Amino acid sequence: MQLIVQSNGTVHCLYGEELDLDQLGLLKISRGSLVEPTFDGCWTADLSPVDGPVLGPFQSRGKALAAERQWLETHWLPMAH
């Protein structure tokens, strides 16, 4: 889990349960994407909540989730602060 800590103490990360984030203080959690099935049984990761692209289609939800995480860690997380 990557944590980006600003000089004012604000922490940005992709939400996960690896750490108890409540210990860091007041949380503000927002959706980064929508991983949804398509009509033909595939999956997409719509990153429009963070002004990103729609990724996919993928053959499995797991592959869509992995692509979502990779995109967010590469493109959104470094810019979130």
Q: What sign does the dihedral 69-73-79-81 (CA atoms) show?
A: positive
pLDDT at 81: 59
Q: How far is CA 53 from CA 15, 17, 43, 81, in A?
A: 20, 26, 14, 20
Residue whose structure tokens are 């800590």: 5
The half-sphere exposure of 53 on its side-chain side, counting CA atoms within 13 A, is: 8
- Structure tokens belonging to residue 51: 């002004």
pTM here is 0.83
pLDDT at 30: 87
Q: Where are the domains of the chain?
A: 3-79
How does residue 57 score in pLDDT terms, banded at 50, 70 and 90? very high
* Segment holding 68, helix H or strand E: helix 61-71
3-7, 36-40, 69-73: segment of lowest average pLDDT: 3-7
